[in-house]
């Protein structure tokens, strides 16, 4: 830097009468540009990047450290230590278990720390490869001292592995009704059941130790607490080093409560117990613990209370796939429809969770022994209700659902034909959907990288990003071809079984525009009245399935009431339709749940009473995307776009392609 400063001073000290003005200015610009580039290179130097990566790693910020080590691996492809740390980060942050294990396996044959075998065993545990995990853990034990194995908590991992061996032989298969991604901040808002909701533990239940360590634990608050009922919660009590325990207080009436009661050693351990929920109908306590026979981190346990003996039964691990090698925080049972709400971080990044709605546990099927990959897929708890191809029979004589005090019968589904039971057909559809999701994910990454290009001043770095984009686009195109091929084979099977052929036939948007050209100039135009409105490009008629479908508003107050309830299970118009999903709820929401947004619609899930709520009905991706941004700004960060074709749900990316092909 001092050298550049001296050069600038030399330029300014030159006798300008000896140098043409144009050359003088050119030299000055070149030197200033050099200073700028030099400064930028200092900010992203390899030494600083390496220091930051190691600091993040030591602070357990594995998600951010993974990005740094990925960049270092690109700059120094022969440095195995960068690849080692990248593999560990991908594992610990749950970003990509398979790639992390692949990297660790590759570098294990080179000069890297012996801890590599510990992390390989841990990765295999999370992938349910118990025999490989045991092999790597034993190899690690032979290479390190007792103190080293203790420092890295090897004993915990071995205990998890031992419990995992038992649980994989007792699998159950629940029916997944829905799965909703949420942040830790919005968890208490989204997760609720008929008989109560979640809330932060009130100050009156916090001990001095809880307050000292800023305890922000969550408790279940019943809607109707009667005299004699108990409220369950977790607390450090008076000793933080004993971990969190489950306590309860008794309602004595007149807003009076008993002294806190520790549930004792039958429930609590030297580890942490938290997120307690008591099912009053079955006298069963559900809670999360990392101190019992867990298969990894926190698991869900249940214990039945014997009112006659006044004692708790030995807690039982809920098993796979309710539990996984990751953290399961909370399980609620809905007394109205007997569904189960499960909260887990098994598929998410730090600070994020999935809320799974599962069917009645008494109807779960037992599963025979499966391979590691099959168990891993089972534990993902895929939401089949979102699949455009999968149709399920509806129960006969199903009770009508009460939505905003209005009885709405469950949606009738077409009868299941023989093709729905064909294993080849199911495999093809699952492959198509899974590949399409991977393709959509890559396309989102490509879009983000393209947006970042303009912010990268260094041509060399910009060139690297452009190469990444080209490679990712090729992967996305290959995946799209695989998805299309699977779709095509599925349609061929349908024809062989003589069932209605599924066609992707784009709607005639051009003819709609010709019918009503006057509305074209108003399309997607913002209108003031403290509302956001997208004017329609379709022809208005008295038929509710054909009228304005590009309208979205945010008013000051809700427009829904008892006399004007939120519509449920509407008939979607023909062609491509986009909607914005706001959330899935185990019971109907209040009229003003979504404040001034309109139009709100609901959709009941077949064979259950979970209701998904949406806002807007759009015929173009552009208008839906603009509305989605407004919904995010309005505070519903978890909202996302969904798409339909001819009334059937399809991936958003495919809907966009159909829309473009018709233009």
Look up residue 617 and give its two tokens: 């009905």
Cβ atoms of 178 and 385 closer than 8 Å: yes
Integer Cα distance of 14 and 609 in angstroms: 83
Give me the CATH number covering residue 55. Answer: 1.25.40.10
Integer Cα distance of 178 and 583 in angstroms: 10
Cβ atoms of 578 and 641 closer than 8 Å: yes
Chunked in runs of 10, what are the mean pLDDT values of the chain (663 residues)?
A: 48 48 56 48 69 88 92 88 93 90 93 92 94 95 87 89 90 87 75 78 90 88 86 90 90 87 93 92 93 90 92 93 93 85 86 88 79 87 47 32 35 38 55 65 72 74 82 84 73 51 33 37 32 32 43 86 87 88 76 87 66 89 90 83 84 79 66
Q: What is the pLDDT of residue 616?
A: 92
Break the chain down into helix, strand, coil percent, rounded to 5: 40, 20, 40
Answer yes or no: is 405 within a domain: no
- Picking from 97, 132, 167, the residue at the C-terminal end of a domain is 167
Answer yes or no: is 84 within a domain: yes
Q: What is the pLDDT of residue 43?
A: 52
Integer Cα distance of 234 and 253 in angstroms: 22
Both 118 and 150 in one domain: the answer is yes
Both 300 and 447 in one domain: the answer is no
Both 156 and 175 in one domain: the answer is no
Answer yes or no: is 364 within a domain: yes
| DSSP secondary structure letter of residue 194 | T
DSSP letter for each residue of 451-493: HHHTT---HHHHHHHHHHHHHHHHHHHHHHHHHHHHHHHHHHH
Give the closest residue to 622 by CA, choosing from 572, 663, 578: 578
Cβ atoms of 273 and 289 closer than 8 Å: yes
Cβ-based neighbours of 506, under 8 Å, separated by 6 or more: 575, 576, 658, 659, 661, 662
Both 239 and 361 in one domain: the answer is yes
Cβ atoms of 130 and 142 closer than 8 Å: no
Cβ atoms of 295 and 317 closer than 8 Å: yes
Q: What is the largest CA-CA distance in the chain?
A: 106
| DSSP secondary structure letter of residue 498 | T
Integer Cα distance of 525 and 503 in angstroms: 33
Cβ-based neighbours of 633, under 8 Å, separated by 6 or more: none
Both 536 and 446 in one domain: the answer is no
At 85 the three-state DSSP class reads helix
Cβ-based neighbours of 624, under 8 Å, separated by 6 or more: 578, 579, 580, 616, 618, 641
Q: What is the pLDDT of residue 398?
A: 32
Look up residue 402 and give its two tokens: 């009460």
Counting beta carbons within 10 angstroms of the beta carbon of residue 375, is it exposed (0 to 12), middle (13 to 18) or buried (19 or more)?
buried
Q: What is the pLDDT of residue 412?
A: 38
Number of domains in the chain: 5
Both 531 and 551 in one domain: the answer is yes
| Helix-helix angle 2-13:21-43, to 10 degrees | 170
| DSSP secondary structure letter of residue 408 | E
Both 345 and 274 in one domain: the answer is yes
Answer yes or no: is 230 within a domain: yes
Answer yes or no: is 504 within a domain: no
Order of strands across the sheet that contains 328-333:
176-183, 352-358, 340-344, 328-333
Answer yes or no: is 305 within a domain: yes
Containing H/E element for 617?
Answer: strand 611-618
Phi, psi of 603 (to 5 degrees): -140, 120
Both 182 and 305 in one domain: the answer is yes
Containing H/E element for 428?
Answer: helix 423-453
Both 116 and 255 in one domain: the answer is no
Integer Cα distance of 481 and 541 in angstroms: 40
| Helix-helix angle 652-661:621-633, to 10 degrees | 140
Cβ atoms of 248 and 280 closer than 8 Å: no
Other CB atoms within 10 Å distance of the CB of residue 372: 16
Both 476 and 536 in one domain: the answer is no
- Picking from 148, 167, 186, the residue at the C-terminal end of a domain is 167
Answer yes or no: is 378 within a domain: yes
pTM: 0.55
Cβ atoms of 103 and 116 closer than 8 Å: no
Containing H/E element for 344?
Answer: strand 340-344
Cα angle 656, 662, 663 (rounded to 5 degrees) comes to 95
Cβ atoms of 152 and 115 closer than 8 Å: yes
Cβ atoms of 331 and 286 closer than 8 Å: yes
- Picking from 117, 132, 167, the residue at the C-terminal end of a domain is 167
Both 74 and 133 in one domain: the answer is yes
Give the closest residue to 171 by CA, choosing from 377, 369, 382: 369
Containing H/E element for 179?
Answer: strand 176-183
Containing H/E element for 56?
Answer: helix 46-58
Cβ-based neighbours of 219, under 8 Å, separated by 6 or more: 198, 199, 200, 201, 205, 231, 232, 233, 234, 276
Cβ atoms of 177 and 605 closer than 8 Å: yes
Look up residue 429 and give its two tokens: 């559809």
Cβ atoms of 11 and 19 closer than 8 Å: no
Q: What is the pLDDT of residue 663?
A: 63
Counting beta carbons within 10 angstroms of the beta carbon of residue 634, is it exposed (0 to 12), middle (13 to 18) or buried (19 or more)?
middle
Both 450 and 545 in one domain: the answer is no
Q: Which domain holds residue 321?
A: 171-382
């Amino acid at each position: 830097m001092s050298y550049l400063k001296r050069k600038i001073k030399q330029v300014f000290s030159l006798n300008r009468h000896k140098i043409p003005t144009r050359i003088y200015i050119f030299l000055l610009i070149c030197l200033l540009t050099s200073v700028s580039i030099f400064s930028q290179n200092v900010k992203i130097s390899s030494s600083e990047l390496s220091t930051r990566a190691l600091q993040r790693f030591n602070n357990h910020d594995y998600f951010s450290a993974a990005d740094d080590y990925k960049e270092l691996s690109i700059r120094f492809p022969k440095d195995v230590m960068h690849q080692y740390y990248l593999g560990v980060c991908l594992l610990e942050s749950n970003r990509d278990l398979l790639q992390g294990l692949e990297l660790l396996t590759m570098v294990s044959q080179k000069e890297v720390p012996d801890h590599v075998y510990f992390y390989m065993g841990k990765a295999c545990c999370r992938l349910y490869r118990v025999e490989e995990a045991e092999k790597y853990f034993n190899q690690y034990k032979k290479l390190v001292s007792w103190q080293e194995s203790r420092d890295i908590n090897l004993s915990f991992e071995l205990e998890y592995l031992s419990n995992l061996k038992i649980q994989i032989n007792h699998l159950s298969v629940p029916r997944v009704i829905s799965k909703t991604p949420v942040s830790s901040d919005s968890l208490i808002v989204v997760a609720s059941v008929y008989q109560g909701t979640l809330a932060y533990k009130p100050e009156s239940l916090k001990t001095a130790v809880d307050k000292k360590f800023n305890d922000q634990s969550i408790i279940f608050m019943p809607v109707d607490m009667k005299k004699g009922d108990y409220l369950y919660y977790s607390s450090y009590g008076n000793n933080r080093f004993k971990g969190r325990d489950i306590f309860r207080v008794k309602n004595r009436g007149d807003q009076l409560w008993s002294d806190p009661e520790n549930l004792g050693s039958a429930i609590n351990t030297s580890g942490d117990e938290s997120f307690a929920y008591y099912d009053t109908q079955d006298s069963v306590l559900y809670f999360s613990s990392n101190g019992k026979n867990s298969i990894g981190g926190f698991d869900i346990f249940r214990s039945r209370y014997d009112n006659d003996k006044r004692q708790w039964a030995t807690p039982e691990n809920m098993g796979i796939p309710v539990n996984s090698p990751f953290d399961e925080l909370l399980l609620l049972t809905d007394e109205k429809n007997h569904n189960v709400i499960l909260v887990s971080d098994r598929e998410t990044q730090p600070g994020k969770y999935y809320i799974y709605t599962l069917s009645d546990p008494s109807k779960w099927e037992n599963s025979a022994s499966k391979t590691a990959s099959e168990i891993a897929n089972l534990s993902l708890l895929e939401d089949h209700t979102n699949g455009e191809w999968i149709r399920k029979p509806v129960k006969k004589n199903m009770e009508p659902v009460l939505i905003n005090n209005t009885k709405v019968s469950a949606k009738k589904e077409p009868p299941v034909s023989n093709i729905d039971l064909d294993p080849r057909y199911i495999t093809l559809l699952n492959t198509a959907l899974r590949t399409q999701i991977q393709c959509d994910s890559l396309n989102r990454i490509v879009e983000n990288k393209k947006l970042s290009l303009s912010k990268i001043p260094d041509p060399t770095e910009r060139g690297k990003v452009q190469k990444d984009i080209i490679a990712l686009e090729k992967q996305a195109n290959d995946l799209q071809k695989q998805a299309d091929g699977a779709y095509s084979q599925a349609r061929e099977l349908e024809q062989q079984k003589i069932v209605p052929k599924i066609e992707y036939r784009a709607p005639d948007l051009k003819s709609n525009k010709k019918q009503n050209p006057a509305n074209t100039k108003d399309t997607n135009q913002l209108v003031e009245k403290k509302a956001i409105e997208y004017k329609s490009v379709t022809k208005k008629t008295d038929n509710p399935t054909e009228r304005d479908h590009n309208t979205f508003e945010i008013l000051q107050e809700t427009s829904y009431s008892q006399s004007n309830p939120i519509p449920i299970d509407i008939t979607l118009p023909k062609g491509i339709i986009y909607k914005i999903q706001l959330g899935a709820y185990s019971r109907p929401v209040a009229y003003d749940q979504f404040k001034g947004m309109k139009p709100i619609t609901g959709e009941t899930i077949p064979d259950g009473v979970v209701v998904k709520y949406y806002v807007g009905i759009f015929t173009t991706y552009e208008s839906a995307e603009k509305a989605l941004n407004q919904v995010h700004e309005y505070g519903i960060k978890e909202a996302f776009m969904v798409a339909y074709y001819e009334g059937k749900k399809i991936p958003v990316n495919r809907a966009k392609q159909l829309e473009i092909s018709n233009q």
